[in-house]
Structure 1
Amino acid sequence: MSTAELKTSDLVTALKAAAEPTRLRILLLLAGGELNVKDLTLVLGQSQPRISRHLKLLFEAGLIERFREGSWVYFHISDRQPGGRLALRLVADVDPSEAAVRLDRERADALKREREASAQAFFEKHAADWDRIRTLHVAEREVEAAMREAMGSGPFRFLLDLGTGTGRALELFSDRFERGLGIDVNQAMLAYARAKLNTDGCTRAQVRHGDIYALSIADRQADAIVMHQILHFLSDPSLAIREAARVLAPGGKLLIVDFAPHELEFLRTEEAHERLGFSHDQISDWLKDAGLVPRMVRDLTRKPGGSEKILTVTLWLAERPRDFKGNTNRDAAATGTLEEAR
């Protein structure tokens, strides 16, 4: 990056903010993924007011960005701003083998594993009735009809369902693919999905245990990928999208289905949701960063009834450019059209 991207006064402010040891440690952690104040207090072992003060200074210096999600605020480094590019350059020069840096990273990784273990425990407890639980949040028939419309008629040579859960997406598209594969980390969910697929005679679909962050699938293999109601359970949704993009073939389609931003905190505390929904721009930016072209975004909202709290389900459809050469291409992604449907 060229320092000419920042005015001299802004550059001095940014460098002074990053020079303080704790703030440099924060930048190193945020370079590895989005974190909130509570996460940083646990990893760094410092008080919440002190961490909040450091984050405020980094934000004001333009080195980090923040976004609110319910009662929580997440922080991250974005390469879309000059300050973020400067921050990434600064942390890239830090030796990752230094003891303090390594310890912080290990603590952050342990924190993410603990949270995802909580989500896995929830899945194990509710494996048999997960489909029923999802219908409590949104009208599933309407969502499934919108999913089939968004993906088109295919046919797809290889459809990949990431975070397959009960395998419902494989059933939903079983008439449109030659081969379907569902990936999930939870063995109880996989056992349920496998039994369900066998019972329903979906012989061209299989489910496998796997890590959504590190798929054991070669580059550019899938011509259709579905991520149905999985991102809100993940510590690092953007990484999961990048990994999905890696295995998506040129011209292939990625369909993401998840909640729009909401403030139902009980979903975090009682149902292991890491994120309280995602905005249109947030997912679209992640798709572009992964080298994909956003093609459509559509919101599905039920009419409120009485005191019932309503969740909006959003569908995002993106494609891999057919001339994709293997590297992230934000310029190509930026030319994608984004259609709003209400």
Structure 2
Amino acid sequence: MSHDRVSTTVTVSFPSALAVLRAAAEETRLRILALLFEGELSVSDLTDILGQSQPRISRHLKLLVEAGLIERHREGAWAFFRLAEGRAGLVDPLIAGLERGAAPLCEDRARLEAVRTQRAETAKSFFARLAPKWDAMRSLHVPEATVEAAVLSALGDRPVRSLIDLGTGTGRMLGLLAPLASRATGLDASHAMLAVARANLERTGLSRVDLRQGDIHAPPFARGSFDLVVVHQVLHYLDEPARALREAARLVAPGGRMLVVDFAPHGLEFLREAQAHRRLGFSADQVSGWLADAGLDTLETRDLAPLDRAQLTVTLWLAADTRAAAGAGHPERAVA
């Protein structure tokens, strides 16, 4: 995903435009906007970068939120800020045209890189503690590269406007799919895993993906918000996978699609204790039935069987909400 936003014409009233310009016309707030143009940041990040007290930074952020220039969301006790989608177009040309090589913006960007480097090191340390489990997990099924190639093949070249990865974990699916989308969001219940995902995405230049902390059983988004919903290697951890798919289906826009990736049925009971698996895989008909109950038609089911019979088979389900396609006389099934 590029750092450049799509240029659109934004129409606002004179009072609203005046309020926006007043909010931006202050040194610290303009510096904050320039930093958020690079990606979302926490209050702590901005305090470290700008060298100002937390109460002062919080006051500036409050004014920018009230002006509709930035948005705030929580991850547990943490608050993160990013440019508001609906209003950022008013200030994007200004921010994009700022001279980044001169003070104070050059120093701000240098400190931003230092914050990101520290974040990456923290995430690396956290992930290193989990590495033995993750390595064991990778050895249980076909290579991740094979799964990712199958994902891209199943999705094809259809444009993706808005994408959400539910249970994003380390952000691997976002790293694969966010460059294909105009807008990408990741949701995970674990703040620690979101820290890993944030560092991983920043390292690949995808710093403007929206990461949210939340429950996959109650995702905090409006109905029909995304034209592609991804549930990758999540269901086997859940007590209520059918309920999770119903909630995920609620997010699919008319004519949109859902991609589910998980294990086929297996008998590796040790995974319940060793890696907290609640379910030992799912049959093709089981997940397709849940998708149908949630209002989605399964377009394609694909098994990725390993060469080693001791390993697990990975299954992909591609489903769609065919309401818009049926009404237009273009069955969504023809897309897959």
TM-score range, shorter chain: 0.5 to 0.7
Whether the 8 Å CA contact 1:229–1:258 is kept in 2: the answer is yes
Relative distance call for 1:276 and 1:229 in structure 2 (3 A) is: same
Write the distance in 2 (CA, Å) between the matches of 1:127 and 1:156: 32
Q: Which residue of 1 aligns with 2:270?
A: 266
Secondary structure, counterpart of 2:139 in structure 1: helix
Q: In the alignment, does 2:178 pair up with 1:177?
A: no
Q: Deviation per CA, 1:178-217: give whole Å up to 9, x if none.
A: 1111100011111111111111111341211001000110
Q: Which residue of 2 aligns with 1:295?
A: 299
Whether the 8 Å CA contact 1:228–1:256 is kept in 2: the answer is yes
Q: Which amino acid aligns with 1:135?
A: R
Secondary structure, counterpart of 1:173 in structure 2: helix
Relative distance call for 1:257 and 1:133 in structure 2 (3 A) is: same
Whether the 8 Å CA contact 1:160–1:226 is kept in 2: the answer is yes
Q: Deviation per CA, 1:131-189: give whole Å up to 9, x if none.
A: 54442222111000000111122321110000000000000012210111110001111
Instruction: For 1:29-40, list aligned pairs within 5 A.
Output: none
Relative distance call for 1:131 and 1:206 in structure 2 (3 A) is: farther
Whether the 8 Å CA contact 1:182–1:206 is kept in 2: the answer is yes
Q: Which residue of 1 aligns with 2:318?
A: 317
TM-score, normalised by the number of residues in structure 1:
0.56
Write the distance in 1 (CA, Å) between the matches of 2:222 and 2:290: 21
Q: Which residue of 2 aligns with 1:84?
A: none
Q: In the alignment, does 2:140 pair up with 1:137?
A: yes
Instruction: For 1:1-342, list aligned pairs within 5 A.
Output: 127=130, 132-138=135-141, 139-304=143-308, 309-323=310-324
Q: Deviation per CA, 1:268-305: give whole Å up to 9, x if none.
A: 11110000000011000000000001000000011127
Whether the 8 Å CA contact 1:227–1:255 is kept in 2: the answer is yes
Write the distance in 2 (CA, Å) between the matches of 1:203 and 1:300: 31
Write the distance in 2 (CA, Å) between the matches of 1:126 and 1:284: 36
Secondary structure, counterpart of 2:315 in structure 1: strand
Q: Which amino acid aligns with 1:173?
A: L
Q: Deviation per CA, 1:72-123: give whole Å up to 9, x if none.
A: xxxxxxxxxxxxxxxxxxxxxxxxxxxxxxxxxxxxxxxxxxxxxxxxxxx9
Whether the 8 Å CA contact 2:231–2:259 is kept in 1: the answer is yes
Whether the 8 Å CA contact 1:224–1:252 is kept in 2: the answer is yes
Write the distance in 2 (CA, Å) between the matches of 1:303 and 1:283: 24
**Identity value in percent:** 48
Whether the 8 Å CA contact 1:134–1:140 is kept in 2: the answer is no
Whether the 8 Å CA contact 2:229–2:252 is kept in 1: the answer is yes
Shift in Å, 1:124: 8.6
Relative distance call for 1:336 and 1:199 in structure 2 (3 A) is: closer
Q: Which residue of 1 aligns with 2:44?
A: none
Relative distance call for 1:183 and 1:314 in structure 2 (3 A) is: same
Higher mean displacement: 249-258 or 200-209: 200-209
Relative distance call for 1:213 and 1:124 in structure 2 (3 A) is: farther
Relative distance call for 1:268 and 1:131 in structure 2 (3 A) is: closer
Whether the 8 Å CA contact 1:124–1:188 is kept in 2: the answer is no
Q: Which runs of 5+ in 2 are unaligned?
A: 1-125
Relative distance call for 1:149 and 1:130 in structure 2 (3 A) is: farther
Write the distance in 2 (CA, Å) between the matches of 1:126 and 1:293: 40
Relative distance call for 1:337 and 1:281 in structure 2 (3 A) is: farther
Shift in Å, 1:233: 0.1
Write the distance in 2 (CA, Å) between the matches of 1:250 and 1:174: 21
Shift in Å, 1:336: 8.8
Write the distance in 2 (CA, Å) between the matches of 1:147 and 1:200: 20
Secondary structure, counterpart of 2:324 in structure 1: coil
